[in-house]
């Protein structure tokens, strides 16, 4: 969590610092309108800066995973940059358009405006002539941005509609690039801020075009077919075995992939529930918790084509401590199954306790889990919430007396994870020793 906050603050701080260096902040004439001009420029720079970085992160850059702790964290930074961009865009619009409306309604009186300085650079003269067009493009792009952002943030919109509408964000971004290039104060372009904004908008434009042409992640996609299906009726989990036809780079336990069973629906992220054996086989365990995933047991069959993109993620069970505590809530058991399979053939010297909390126990599934844990030499604790109550920090510490010597790896519902994180933090357990998948891609 700390990395996410620092990343967002770092982007805002860098842009603010360079803007402060580039803008003389001279408030001449009417103070209100002079301040308005300064704030329009500042919010515009910040807004385009954070949106450009968000576009870059949409490319799923694997090289940034070690810095942020996995693609799930990269997407969380992407989300908060988008929210910051939306907030800045609203403030920018209020200063740019709201003031004009106030003048039109007679609430404010605009001071007399002198002639604009004549531009000697041809490209800047052209931009100056297109100022009205640039303002119109920015205004309508802003309205579209607000609508698309609302669809992305309101979870009641189906995931499929979110994917379809979110791709249009690339068109909005390209319109905002045109708006910004023409309206950015000409003096900025000769400063470090201008150089940075030029690079950011160029990279963002590349990312937008790649998104429009569905090129994001293309080099990491492999085609395969469903080899087997196992339905665990009691816990509502569908186990999908896939055999890839192309070379797979291999994966570590805890990583995930974007899986597409239906091109019209698009790809969904699922944790890989199997250790890599070099044979092209992957297993996924899918809980029917959404409109789409609930239909999969009826629509999927052996032999169906599937497209897999990945692997991604840094839920890698690394750490020098001699003990690890794994906590799984419901279908969050998936990455731990993959790790158990890996340890079954190569047990780790660490002492490991696995807590599996479920509200819908499936006896056949749990029997397989116990067998696998036995082979991996992992101590398994199965807790049924309706029978054993809610698993919390106190219960874990009671069952693992030397918990202070370990790390916690959690995968499951966000609220459950947050409660455990806060519980361990209250006991002085460092945040860097609590690992949690942020498995929410919107």
- In order, the DSSP letters of 208-258 are HHHHHTT-TTGGGEEEEEEEEEEEETTTTEEEEEEEESS------TT-EEE
Residue 290 to residue 118: CA distance in whole angstroms: 59
Domain covering 323-436 assigned CATH 3.40.50.80 in the classification: yes
Q: Rounded to 5 degrees, what are φ and ψ at 408? A: -110, 135
| pLDDT at residue 195, as a whole number | 96
CATH number of 223-312: 2.40.30.10
- pLDDT for 119-172, tens place per residue? 666 777 777 778 889 999 999 999 999 999 999 888 777 777 888 888 999 999
Fold of 2-112+119-212: 1.20.120
| pLDDT at residue 439, as a whole number | 67
Run of H or E residues at 307: strand 305-312
Residue ranges covered by each domain of the chain: 2-112+119-212, 223-312, 323-436
From the first residue on, what is the mean pLDDT of each consecutive set of 10 residues in the chain (442 residues)? 85 95 70 84 96 96 89 92 96 90 78 65 75 92 95 82 88 97 91 96 97 93 95 87 93 94 89 93 89 90 96 88 92 93 84 92 90 94 87 94 92 92 92 83 61
- pLDDT for 54-91, tens place per residue? 999 999 999 999 888 889 899 999 999 999 999 999 99
Q: Mean pLDDT of all residues in the chain? A: 89
Tokens of 408: 């916690």
Residue 90 to residue 88: CA distance in whole angstroms: 5
Tokens of 169: 């964000």
| pLDDT at residue 189, as a whole number | 92
Q: Residues near 6 by Cβ (< 8 Å), separated by ≥ 6?
A: none
Q: Residue 127, class by beta-carbon neighbours within 10 Å (0-12 exposed, 13-18 middle, 19+ buried)? A: middle
Residues of 80-97 as b/e, b for ≥16 C-beta within 10 angstroms? bbbbbbbebbebbbebbe
pTM above 0.85, yes or no: yes
DSSP 354: E
């Amino acid at each position: 969590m700390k990395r996410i906050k620092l990343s967002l603050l770092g982007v805002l701080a860098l842009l603010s610092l360079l803007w402060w260096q580039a803008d003389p902040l001279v408030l001449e004439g009417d103070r209100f309108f002079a301040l308005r001009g300064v704030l329009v420029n500042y919010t515009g720079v910040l807004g385009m800066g954070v949106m450009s970085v968000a576009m870059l992160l949409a490319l799923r850059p694997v090289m940034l995973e070690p810095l942020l702790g996995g693609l799930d964290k990269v997407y969380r930074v992407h989300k908060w940059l988008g929210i910051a961009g939306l907030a800045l865009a609203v403030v920018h619009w209020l200063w740019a358009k709201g003031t004009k409306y106030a003048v039109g309604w007679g609430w404010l009186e605009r001071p007399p405006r002198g002639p604009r300085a004549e531009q000697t650079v041809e490209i800047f003269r052209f931009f100056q002539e297109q100022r009205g067009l640039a303002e119109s493009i920015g205004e309508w792009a802003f309205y579209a941005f607000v609508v698309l952002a609302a669809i992305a943030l309101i979870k009641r919109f189906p995931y499929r509609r979110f994917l379809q509408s979110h791709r249009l964000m690339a068109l909005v971004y390209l319109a905002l690039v045109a708006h910004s290039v023409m309206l950015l104060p000409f003096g900025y372009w000769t400063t470090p801020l201008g150089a940075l904004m030029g690079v950011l908008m160029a990279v963002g434009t590349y990312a937008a075009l790649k998104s429009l042409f569905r090129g994001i992640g293309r080099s990491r996609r492999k085609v395969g077919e469903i080899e087997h299906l196992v339905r665990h009726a009691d816990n509502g989990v569908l186990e999908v075995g896939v055999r890839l036809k192309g070379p797979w780079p291999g994966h570590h336990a805890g990583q995930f992939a974007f899986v597409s069973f239906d091109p019209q629906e698009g790809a969904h992220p699922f944790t890989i529930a199997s250790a890599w054996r070099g044979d092209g086989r992957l297993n996924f365990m899918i809980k029917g918790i959404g409109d789409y995933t609930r239909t999969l047991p009826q629509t999927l069959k052996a032999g169906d084509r599937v497209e897999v993109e990945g692997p991604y993620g840094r839920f890698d069970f690394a750490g020098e401590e001699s003990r690890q505590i794994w906590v799984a809530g419901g279908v969050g058991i998936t990455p731990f199954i993959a790790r158990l399979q890996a340890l079954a053939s190569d047990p780790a010297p660490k002492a490991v306790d696995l807590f599996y909390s479920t509200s819908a126990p499936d006896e056949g599934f749990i029997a397989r889990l116990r067998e696998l844990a036995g082979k991996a030499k992992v101590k398994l604790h199965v807790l049924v919430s309706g029978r054993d109550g809610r698993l919390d920090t106190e219960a874990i510490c009671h069952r693992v007396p030397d918990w202070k010597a370990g790390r916690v790896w959690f995968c499951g519902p966000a609220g459950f994870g947050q409660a455990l994180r806060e519980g361990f933090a209250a006991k002085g357990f460092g945040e860097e020793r609590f690992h949690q998948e942020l498995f929410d891609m919107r």
